């Protein structure tokens, strides 16, 4: 596993979605630990805080524009990094993503596609662009930020959950094909983490709720009650959630450890461990009752 512990060797890391939350903290944690870190984000207007910290702490961190839904922006960013780093990229953290909420019947195909564009195809695009570099150098670590929702389904989250399940299957499969090239693929599965995830949460345009500001209320919707209940329960979960630095620490440990098995999964947060434990010990029927 490539690490910044090889003190004389520069180790280059790329993180997507670094404007806030887990990506922001991961970029800072990597840079503080000696990784030459490219904190990428789709909107450079959100880079002030990380640039300020970089300057204050003299960190080896660069901010670059990268929108995971835009082929050209990915190509340009990765080419720039490869040119600046003599063709080397050691670590990729696929973090960019968001949640879409709503009952499947009230979500449009377009909204589903957009969810997969960011959370799944975005990851595929960045990996495809970086693989020739990692394969040539015959090493690399790819960390995919999944979720407990990549292991367990919940009501009203079919779009998000299916995108994270897809990411899990993708990661598990490519871990086999990339291992012979010295490339390790890892899944990180946080529970609820206190980031901008809840404020960035999208609620489908046709989803009926009185709580969402962006949507209209339709009490005649067959899903009105469950939607109200779930949305009301969603935000409070973030109030006492684990801080994003917890995820960053796990990522840092994983990429600096010599003993990580390809394809390994890492839960983050007490809620994540508890939930997976409960899931393991309950029948499908018992677990369903608990979730409802
Ligand atoms: N927070 C949680 O409870 C939780 C739990 C499990 C997994 N996760 C996963 O953790 C990852 C990071 O989320 P977070 O919790 O840190 O939320 P966050 O604070 O909302 O950060 C999400 C990041 O992804 C970026 N992003 C969204 N779409 C993008 C695109 N098309 N191209 C590039 N960047 C894009 C956002 O950029 P903008 O600022 O421009 O929107 C932001 O930088 C996500 O994959 C999420 O699914 C979060």
Supply the mean pLDDT for the chain.
93
Q: Evaluate: CB of 106 within 6 angstroms of ligand 1.
A: no
- What integer pLDDT is reported at residue 211 of this predicted model? 52
Give the CB-side neighbour count of residue 107, counting CA atoms within 13 A: 22
Residue with CA closest to ligand 1 atom 42:
17
Non-local (6+) Cβ contacts of 122 within 8 A are: 16, 68, 69, 94, 96, 97
Q: Evaluate: CB of 269 within 6 angstroms of ligand 1.
A: no
pLDDT winner (highest mean) among 8-12, 174-178, 228-232, 234-238: 174-178
- What integer pLDDT is reported at residue 9 of this predicted model? 81
pLDDT digits (tens, 9 = 90+) for 217-259: 566 789 988 898 888 888 889 998 999 999 999 999 999 998 8
Q: Evaluate: CB of 95 within 6 angstroms of ligand 1.
A: yes
- What integer pLDDT is reported at residue 263 of this predicted model? 87
pLDDT digits (tens, 9 = 90+) for 61-114: 999 999 999 999 999 999 999 999 999 999 999 999 999 999 999 999 999 999
Please give the average per-residue pLDDT across 203-230, as a whole number. Answer: 75
225: exposed, middle or buried (Cβ count in 10 Å: 0-12, 13-18, 19+): exposed
Task: Report the predicted TM-score, pTM, of the whole model to 2 decimal places.
Answer: 0.95
Residue with CA closest to ligand 1 atom 36:
17
Q: Which residues of 169-192 are buried (b: 16+ CB within 10 A; e: fewer)?
A: ebbeebbeebeeebbbbbbbbbbb
Q: By percentage, how much of the chain surpasses pLDDT 70?
A: 94
Residue with CA closest to ligand 1 atom 37:
17
* Angstrom distance (rounded) from CA 121 to CA 219: 35
* Angstrom distance (rounded) from CA 29 to CA 44: 20
What residues act catalytically?
Answer: 160
Q: Evaluate: CB of 96 within 6 angstroms of ligand 1.
A: yes
Query: Which atom of ligand 1 is found nearest the CA of 244?
Result: 16
Distance 179 CA to ligand 1 centre (A): 27
User: Among 94-103, 114-123, 255-264, 267-276, which is the least confidently predicted range?
Assistant: 255-264
Query: Which atom of ligand 1 is found nearest the CA of 117?
Result: 31
Q: Evaluate: CB of 150 within 6 angstroms of ligand 1.
A: no
- What integer pLDDT is reported at residue 195 of this predicted model? 98
């Amino acid at each position: 596993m490539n690490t910044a512990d090889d003190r004389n060797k520069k180790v280059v890391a790329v993180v997507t979605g670094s404007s806030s939350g887990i990506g922001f903290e991961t970029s800072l944690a990597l840079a503080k630990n000696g990784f030459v870190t490219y904190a990428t984000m789709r909107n450079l207007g959100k880079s002030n805080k990380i640039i300020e910290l970089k300057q204050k702490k003299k960190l080896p961190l660069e901010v670059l524009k990268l929108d995971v839904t835009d082929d050209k922006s990915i190509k340009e960013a990765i080419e720039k990094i490869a040119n600046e780093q003599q063709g080397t990229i050691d670590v990729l953290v696929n973090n960019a993503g968001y949640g879409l909420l709503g009952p499947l019947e009230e979500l449009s195909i377009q909204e589903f596609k957009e969810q997969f564009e960011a959370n799944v195809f975005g990851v595929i695009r960045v990996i495809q662009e970086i693989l020739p570099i990692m394969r040539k150098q015959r090493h690399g670590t790819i960390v995919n930020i999944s979720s407990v929702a990549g292991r367990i389904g919940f009501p009203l989250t079919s779009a998000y959950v299916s995108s994270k399940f897809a990411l899990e299957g993708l990661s598990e499969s490519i871990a086999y094909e990339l291992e012979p090239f010295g490339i390790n693929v890892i899944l990180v599965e946080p529970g609820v983490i206190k980031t901008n995830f809840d404020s960035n949460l999208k609620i489908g345009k046709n989803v009926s709720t009185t709580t969402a500001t962006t949507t209209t209320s339709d009490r005649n919707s067959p899903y009105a009650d469950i939607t109200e209940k779930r949305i009301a329960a969603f935000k409070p979960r973030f109030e006492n959630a684990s801080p994003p630095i917890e995820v960053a620490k796990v990522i840092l440990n994983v990429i600096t450890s010599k003993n990580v098995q390809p394809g390994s999964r890492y839960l983050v947060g007490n809620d994540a461990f508890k939930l997976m434990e409960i899931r393991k010990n309950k029948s499908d029927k018992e677990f369903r009752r608990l979730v409802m």
